[in-house]
Structure 1
Amino acid sequence: MKKYISALPVIILLAFAAGCNNDFMERVPPDKINDANFWKKPSDLKSYANQFYPSLIDANTFWRADNQSDNQCPSSLDGFIWGQYVVPSSGGGWAKSDWAQIRSCNYFLKQYRSVEGNPDEINTYVAEIYFFKAFFYYQKLRQFGDVPWLNDVLQINSEALMAPRDSRKIVADSIAFYLDKAAGYLPDTSPEGRITRYAALALKSRVCLFEGTYRKYRDLGDHEKMLQASAAAALDVMSSSKFGVYTTGDAGSDYYNLFIAENLANNPEAIMVRTYATDKLMHNLNRILSEPQTGFSKDFAESYLCKDGKPIAVSPLYKGDAKFSDEFINRDPRMLQTIYTADRPILVTAAGEARYQEVPEFNNQRCNTGYRIVKFYSPKERDLEQGRSVKPVFVFRYSEVLLNYAEALAELNSCTQAVLDESVNLLRARVGMPKLKTEVGYTDPSWPKWEAAVSPLINEIRRERRVELAAEGFRFDDIRRWKAGVLLENVKTYSGARDPQTNAYRALYPGNIRSWKNKLYLYPIPSIELTLNPQIRQNPEW
């Protein structure tokens, strides 16, 4: 008898987006599978699942997500965080195409039971679809909050088409449930680089931390169970002994080298990576970073601690910023491995000639802030060929799991010194920084002015997260979940380095003053959807 993964219990009443119109309900899934000759063997399930893998990360763009935050400042201001975004009439992340991947996952879950073969192999691919459905729904949760949770492949006469949205709690709990089911059937390792049990747990630690803190800082209730689930998922990964923090003992280079590695197959930090192959699948990240049209903000640059483990406002080691090079003296070594300085080659030719760039550079095509992104950037001429890079990129990195673990427990008032030593302090050890103590030992007058006050320990864990995960696309989600949008009103979050010509910080968007509005924690529902289904209500303040 075959043993299959059970479907989600009927404790969640499912609804679908009102914007799914008749032509969407009638169309064949994008894979254009003929049910008469498909769904026969496990390899069919594998082929179907393959379509979702490119959605996990785009090497060319993932780092640009931090342009929508206080970390990076694009040459043209981001219209959303600057309050210029208006309610779209259609589309806006709610179009039928935006729901197609979730529909395709549900289509799989309806069809796969006809497949004959090894039950374990079948269950592995079913678990992959559970993972992807959770992954796609997490995107919807972050963007819209309440969304319809769908299990069925709806038809044009389905009553659920006219139902209201499900609450974010139902959606988040369902995502966590699906990831648990996925983790229960996925393999511990995958020679092919497919989703594993630990990738599912890493995603669960991320999702539950997001939702736990989102609930906590808005008094929505039930935040403790989400934070506990985040910590438990992270600990499961940590306890496997399969992963670790990459280090060779070179505190001045290891962090930088991690992100320009030619191969991550045996890197202990790689929970999951996306690999590339010459002339088969390549990307353009390195070339794009040579002209990124963005740069780190002054506020971000000031967030790095000094080598004594103290912030620049209280450390005697800080040399000030009268000269650009002074800022980097005696600072956390990750600063020099993340932000470009003139002693690092900007280009190494095929003949071995090294070329350098004067700093601070204020160039809208390359770096408008003076703080140029060097993380992920290789100066080798061959790596700068247009669209020819095959360097792998992380999908899930062990360091994030460690940070999730420490933060979740700190938010639960359960973060001990032992917790810090097995998480945050491993990251600090890689770069030779002093340990973080549960009793921080100082008050930083430059700690962010959070809307909801936090402890010194949480302040420092958040700082560690900001520094370690810089340019990895996490920052705006962190601002959302902490209810910290007011941070974007700080003029240093949209200022650059000190300009030697004026002795003032570089003003990036002259004449503009950023004012945060709480509606920006969520995107609006397109207006046509509200017309088509009166039971759908617009997100607050839109």
Structure 2
Amino acid sequence: MKKILICSIMMMGALTSCNSFLDIHPDDTFTNTPAYWSNTDNLDNQCNTFLNNYLGYGNGSSYGWFYFKALSDDQVDFTDNNWTFTNVVASSADWKSAYETVRHANYVLTGLAKSSLSYDAKATYEGIAKLNRAWTYYQLVRQYGDVPFINTVVNTADEEILYGPRINRDVVMDSVLNDLNYAAEHITQTNKQRFTADMALAMKADVALYEGTYCKYRTVADNAGKGPDLTRAQRFLNECADACTKLMTKDYHLNASYKGNYNSTDLSKNPEMIFYKPYSKGKLTHSTINYTMNTSGTNGMTKDAFDAYLFLDGKPKATTSLATNDAATLNANNQYGIEAQLAVRDKRLAETIDPVLAFKGHAYQRAGTHAFTSTTGYAVSKYDNTTELTIDERNNNNRQYTDCPIFWLSVVYLDYAEAKAELGTITQTDLDNSINKLQIRAGLPGIQLAPAADPANNMGVSNLLWEIRRARRCELMFDNWTRYWDLIRWHQLHLIDSEQHPNVYLGANISNVPNPEVDVNSNGYMIGSNTLNQVRRFDKKYYFYPIPTGQITLSNLTQNPGW
């Protein structure tokens, strides 16, 4: 299948005002006539621009969504482990870029009103614009809570909009759902590298699961005065389950290889893919693989994440009958390996990290060239392709061309199982038809309706929900910053406080290493590089990003609590 490559477009400057609602998109400068909006080539160009917002593995040397987003209990970053924002900022690319996209979506919708195309043709493009407006507002609400809501093209005369208030985030999310429902019903394209109705359903499943659980678990004290809303939660969780059901009855199937979802040079043949970002050698490339073995340092898996993986008997570390000794052992190559541990654990663990530890004094050469170290000893190998890419392509920036999954079936299975469990309507058949297919691929027994208790359950939820959340964590490890936003919606962000939960900064057990050149705690576990002086303390204000002061000054917006 020929890959469709949409390269990044440099953003043009804003209008003379600094208000982000007026920022124009580069494709919004042309002769605006009914004839323009009646030409499908023009409309394709306008809608293809939205693809730039799906970063995937990044473009060139830029960071992407996978591996790099280390603010969670899954990874220790090799540079900065603090919160995304610790002070109020004057401006933010997250805010600015989002409202540029909102304006562009509204521009397309306004232009289509003039089009002479057939209803069905216009509806497809309207669906694409609404899908992307929905996706953008979802990001804004996750980050900022209440936000200004704009569904028209704003100009300098629209003072009521320019200086309007932030809108209740629940109202904004209702609009997001409406836009996604329209997109799922009206988009007729089928190319998995572009926007489709199935992509809209997968997006809706993610968004509705987020909203349903967020509204169930939020508190007045921590979430800007908005407490739980169980009726709203139930409505969105049902919307999630419905979207998943529609996708699960379509012609998608699990890929035989878990790792194959992340390191393939051609995802077009992968039966699990719903929407993916294609890369191409010498044309559109990324640097994710190289960054995972960067000689300047790499992010490592935490002990907390490592311990989350079940043993092959389907039991956690506290109750398994299999060997639980996790101390690394020296091999004939003077490397400290964890092969014995990987052999008795969830198969995804061995497909996610290297069998050899990488730390100062014992650097590791995965690709046979430069040796690297990891912040925790555990090194990430999930995205590496050792068969199709050359050593040179794997070891250098802007040389990798493995395709990136954005929406795929395993996430749908996870969304479905969690939504049904939260609703209290899940059956064993539901589990077997969804999440247990992932368990089987991982070499594990299926999850039962009444699983045994795990003493590590620190979220205050049922044993079943704990196991579903564990399965989600292990399946999506290091993916798309999923874990961070899961902790937000479950109201569990305090779990990444390094003082309360030190395992989020610990790494491998190197108690067998004589005179290690890295810091270890009293039990022999490696203390994540650079973390001794980077204590990360939780504050409820971190449930929201600060509103940029530049926007507050220009638009009379209120600031988020605590900032």
Q: TM-score range by the shorter chain?
A: 0.7 to 0.9
1:317 corresponding residue in structure 2? 322
1:34 corresponding residue in structure 2? 31
Q: Are the equivalent residues in 1 in contact too, given 2:205–2:412 (CA < 8 A)?
A: yes
Look up the SS of the partner of 1:52 in the other structure. helix
Residues 236-255 of structure 1: pairs in structure 2 closer than 5 A: 236-240=246-250, 242-247=251-256, 254-255=257-258
- Determine whether 1:459 maps to 2:462: no
- Deviations 1:173-198, CA, capped at 9 Å, x for gaps: 111110100011112722x7221111
- Give the whole-Å Cα distance in 2 for the aligned partners of 1:340 and 1:356: 15
Q: Are the equivalent residues in 2 in contact too, given 1:39–1:114 (CA < 8 A)?
A: yes
2:439 corresponding residue in structure 1? 428
Give the stretch that moved more between structures: 180-189 or 265-274. Answer: 180-189
Give the stretch that moved more between structures: 138-147 or 387-396. Answer: 387-396
Q: Are the equivalent residues in 2 in contact too, given 1:45–1:122 (CA < 8 A)?
A: no
2:291 corresponding residue in structure 1? 288
Tell me: CA distance 1:330–1:27, structure 2 relative to 1, closer, same or farther (3 Å): closer
1:26 Cα offset (Å)? 6.4
Give the stretch that moved more between structures: 411-420 or 303-312. Answer: 411-420
1:131 Cα offset (Å)? 0.9
2:128 corresponding residue in structure 1? 128
Root mean square deviation, CA, Å? 2.4
Q: Give the letter for the 1:431 counterpart.
A: A
1:15 corresponding residue in structure 2? none
- Give the whole-Å Cα distance in 2 for the aligned partners of 1:257 and 1:383: 18
Residues 330-479 of structure 1: pairs in structure 2 closer than 5 A: 330-342=344-356, 347=366, 366-379=373-386, 380-381=390-391, 383-384=393-394, 385-440=396-451, 442-447=452-457, 449-450=458-459, 453-473=460-480, 474-479=482-487
1:135 Cα offset (Å)? 1.1
- Give the whole-Å Cα distance in 2 for the aligned partners of 1:313 and 1:24: 52
1:527 corresponding residue in structure 2? 549
Query: 1:44 aligned to 22, 39, 42, which one?
Result: 42
Aligned length: 496
- Determine whether 1:504 maps to 2:524: yes
Q: Are the equivalent residues in 1 in contact too, given 2:440–2:446 (CA < 8 A)?
A: yes
Query: 1:480 aligned to 479, 483, 488, which one?
Result: 488
- Give the whole-Å Cα distance in 2 for the aligned partners of 1:274 and 1:92: 22
Percent sequence identity over matched residues?
31
1:124 Cα offset (Å)? 1.6
Q: Are the equivalent residues in 2 in contact too, given 1:343–1:356 (CA < 8 A)?
A: no
Residues 74-93 of structure 1: pairs in structure 2 closer than 5 A: 74-80=77-83, 85-91=86-92, 93=94
Look up the SS of the partner of 1:62 in the other structure. coil
- Give the whole-Å Cα distance in 1 for the aligned partners of 2:161 and 2:113: 24
Tell me: CA distance 1:287–1:150, structure 2 relative to 1, closer, same or farther (3 Å): same
2:4 corresponding residue in structure 1? none
Instruction: Please give the TM-score of this superposition, normalised by the length of structure 1.
Output: 0.86
Look up the SS of the partner of 2:436 in the other structure. helix
**Structure 2, unaligned runs of 5 or more:** 1-14, 59-63, 219-226, 329-336, 359-363
- Give the whole-Å Cα distance in 2 for the aligned partners of 1:460 and 1:26: 46
1:308 corresponding residue in structure 2? 313
2:157 corresponding residue in structure 1? 157
Q: Give the letter for the 1:369 counterpart.
A: T
Query: 1:53 aligned to 46, 51, 57, which one?
Result: 51
- Give the whole-Å Cα distance in 1 for the aligned partners of 2:260 and 2:370: 19
Tell me: CA distance 1:391–1:90, structure 2 relative to 1, closer, same or farther (3 Å): closer
Q: Are the equivalent residues in 2 in contact too, given 1:42–1:122 (CA < 8 A)?
A: no
Look up the SS of the partner of 2:215 in the other structure. helix
Look up the SS of the partner of 2:507 in the other structure. strand
Q: Are the equivalent residues in 2 in contact too, given 1:312–1:318 (CA < 8 A)?
A: no
- Deviations 1:383-409, CA, capped at 9 Å, x for gaps: 415422222110101101110000011
**Structure 1, unaligned runs of 5 or more:** 1-18, 248-253, 349-353, 358-362
- Give the whole-Å Cα distance in 1 for the aligned partners of 2:262 and 2:308: 21
- Give the whole-Å Cα distance in 2 for the aligned partners of 1:395 and 1:258: 10
1:54 Cα offset (Å)? 1.8
Q: Are the equivalent residues in 2 in contact too, given 1:318–1:329 (CA < 8 A)?
A: no
Q: Are the equivalent residues in 2 in contact too, given 1:42–1:116 (CA < 8 A)?
A: no
